[in-house]
């Protein structure tokens, strides 16, 4: 019976949510079925141990109806009603977290019952409350439009027709909401089109862009539209000047945006910088580092006071590439306490090892990597690549050759790794192994022979598109070239 959709859903619910559902089911307003209350009380007691024994049909029937004679015809509809009650609970929960929706329902209820004096008082109270909110994002204009629409319905009901200004406000708020949603979707789709084939058609986008161009001064007074318009230009035009314009608009107007919108805008700036870096424009590395700094200051990278281990790693990697090693060390230690307790030690040791490698502390790198657990594929790949580089720089060639061979076998066995990454890592280890073989024999190789082998390595690199840590390999090849007299 534990394959029943209602039972499976309850099994996955957090205990606190199940407690609220139990309380909800005990209210006679929402549920008048005592047998259903008894069933939910039972499921609450055994949660999350929902197995074949505890959720056997006969057991559920007995807990709900207290009868010995099992009746499938009574249990089946009870479970169906249970699922519907759970859906009602979810609706109630979502509404309880949306104060404006509750206020709007109150106004609608008062208007339909023609309680007009109370309606007018509540309408004014709600208006004043939301005017105090400094946000000027999509939700602001959508909320204002819905209030205007409610006011229009009220005026119709009381047969009041001197509401031209109200209609004007309604149209302006609707336009702002629509234009913003259109721009936000256009930004998102322009990013997706660079990664995936998408058949999404942005009908009326040209009309929206034309409207903004026609009334630039007017829309400049709407912070979200002014900023998203520039972000759209940044994403669709080639010149980096659009990036600076978008970033300037964002910084000027960021106080008007909600946390979610700030995060969305930062993601566009980050993705733009990453794309530029991938094209070899290293100046954007400093930009992305600055963007990370702003997000850290504003707490935007924390979810329930937890920093993602991958944001932690990306910030460390960016700082190392810029040579900000003291800052990186301070960051690693400071934000260790913000990592999820389940991953903190792995993330801390791996990133500290990366920083130690950049500082030339190779023995410490080896000590730290020994303590990294390789249960996560990304840590496994990153740690092995870092270990390879460390062995190379320590001139520990036998461990390097052994690692390269075991890694080749690892790549062959691992079916979860995407082909592009598999090829990139394979090529890195293959070329690093050739470079190490040459370096280990430099003392007794004739210069002509060494140069010939090096030329083969350089040709191999030129003809290979996907190589992980290419810049490191290029640096090591340059060192070999300088060492060959």
- Residue 482, classified by CB atoms within 10 Å of its CB into exposed (0-12), middle (13-18) or buried (19+), is exposed
Cβ partners under 8 Å of residue 13, min gap 6: 21, 47
Q: Binning pLDDT at 50, 70 and 90, where does residue 412 land? A: confident
Does the structure show a pLDDT above 90 at 331? yes
The answer to whether residues 328 and 319 touch, using CB atoms and an 8 Å cutoff, is: yes
Which H helix or E strand runs over 382? helix 377-394
Confidence check: pLDDT of 199 > 80:
no
pLDDT of 196 > 70? The answer is: no
Percentage of the residues of the chain whose pLDDT score is greater than 70: 97
Residue 369 tokens read as 């990597």
Name the pLDDT band for 303 (thresholds 50, 70, 90).
Answer: very high
Q: Is the dihedral of CA 440, 442, 443, 446 positive or negative?
A: positive
Q: Which two tokens stand for residue 288?
A: 């992305």
- Structural tokens at position 217: 């001064």
**Across 3-12, 105-114, 321-330, 370-379, least confident range:** 370-379
Enter the tokens of residue 173.
């708020």
Largest distance between two CA atoms of the chain: 102
Tell me 207's DSSP state: H
pLDDT of the residue at 417: 67
What digits encode the pLDDT tens for the residues 152-171? Answer: 999 999 988 877 899 999 99
Taking CA atoms, 469 is separated from 74, 332, 367, 476, in Å, by 65, 22, 22, 11
Tokens of 432: 């690093």
Q: State mean pLDDT over 290-312.
A: 95
More confident residue, 202 or 182: 182
Residue 417 has a CB neighbour count (10 Å cut-off) of: 18
Q: Is 78's pLDDT higher than 90?
A: yes
Report the alpha-carbon distance of residue 54 to residue 71 in Å, rounded: 18
Q: How confident is the model at residue 362 (pLDDT cuts 50, 70, 90)?
A: very high
Give 339's strand partners: 307
| pLDDT tens digits for range 259-287 | 999 999 999 999 999 888 878 788 999 99
Q: Are 185 and 202 in contact (CB under 8 A)?
A: yes
Cα 131 from Cα 53, distance rounded (Å)? 57
Q: What is the mean pLDDT of residues 83-92?
A: 96
Average pLDDT, the chain: 92
CB 319 within 8 Å of CB 289: yes
Identify the pLDDT of residue 2.
60
- Domain extents for the chain? 5-96, 116-293, 301-368, 374-485
């Amino acid at each position: 019976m534990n394959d029943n959709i209602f039972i499976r859903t309850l099994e996955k619910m957090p205990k606190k949510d199940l407690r609220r559902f139990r309380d909800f089911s005990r209210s006679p307003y929402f549920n008048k079925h005592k047998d259903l209350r008894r069933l939910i009380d039972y499921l609450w007691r055994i949660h999350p141990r929902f197995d074949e024994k505890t959720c056997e049909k006969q057991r559920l029937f007995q807990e709900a109806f207290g009868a010995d004679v099992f009746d499938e015809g009574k249990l089946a509809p009870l479970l169906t009603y249970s699922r519907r009650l759970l859906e009602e609970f979810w609706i109630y929960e979502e509404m309880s977290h949306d104060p404006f929706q509750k206020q709007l329902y109150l106004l609608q209820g008062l208007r339909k019952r023609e309680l007009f004096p109370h309606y007018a008082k509540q309408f004014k109270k709600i208006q004043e409350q939301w005017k105090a909110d400094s946000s000027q994002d999509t939700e602001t204009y959508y909320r204002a439009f819905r209030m205007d629409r409610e006011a229009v319905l009220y005026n119709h009901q009381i047969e009041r027709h001197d509401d031209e200004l109200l209609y004007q406000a309604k149209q302006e708020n609707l336009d702002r909401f629509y234009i913003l949603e259109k721009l936000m979707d256009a930004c998102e789709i322009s990013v997706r089109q660079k990664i995936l084939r998408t058949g999404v058609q942005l009908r009326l986008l040209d009309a929206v862009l034309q409207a903004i161009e026609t009334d630039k001064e007017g829309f400049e007074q709407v912070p979200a539209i002014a900023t998203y318009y520039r972000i759209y230009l940044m994403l669709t035009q080639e010149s980096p000047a659009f990036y600076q314009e978008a970033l300037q608009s964002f910084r000027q107007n960021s106080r008007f945006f909600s946390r979610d919108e700030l995060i969305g805008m930062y993601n566009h700036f980050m993705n733009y910088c990453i794309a530029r870096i991938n094209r070899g424009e290293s100046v954007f590395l400093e930009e992305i580092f600055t963007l990370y700094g702003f997000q850290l200051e504003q707490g935007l990278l924390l979810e329930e006071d937890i920093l993602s281990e991958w944001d932690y790693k990306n910030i460390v990697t960016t700082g190392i590439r810029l040579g900000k090693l003291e800052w990186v060390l301070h960051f690693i230690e400071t934000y260790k306490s913000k990592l999820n307790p389940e991953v903190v030690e792995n993330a801390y040791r791996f990133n500290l090892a990366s920083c130690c490698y950049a500082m030339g502390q190779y023995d410490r790198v080896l000590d730290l990597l020994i303590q990294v657990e390789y249960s996560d594929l990304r840590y496994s790949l990153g740690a092995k690549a870092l270990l390879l580089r460390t062995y190379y720089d320590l001139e520990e060639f036998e461990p390097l050759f052994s690692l390269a061979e075991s890694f080749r076998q690892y790549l062959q066995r691992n079916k979860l790794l995407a082909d592009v990454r598999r090829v990139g890592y394979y090529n890195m280890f293959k070329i690093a192994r050739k470079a190490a073989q040459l370096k280990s024999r430099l003392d007794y190789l004739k210069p002509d022979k060494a140069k010939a082998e090096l030329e083969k390595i350089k040709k191999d690199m030129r003809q290979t598109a996907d190589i992980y840590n290419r810049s490191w390999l290029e640096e090591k090849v340059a060192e070999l070239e300088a060492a060959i007299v």
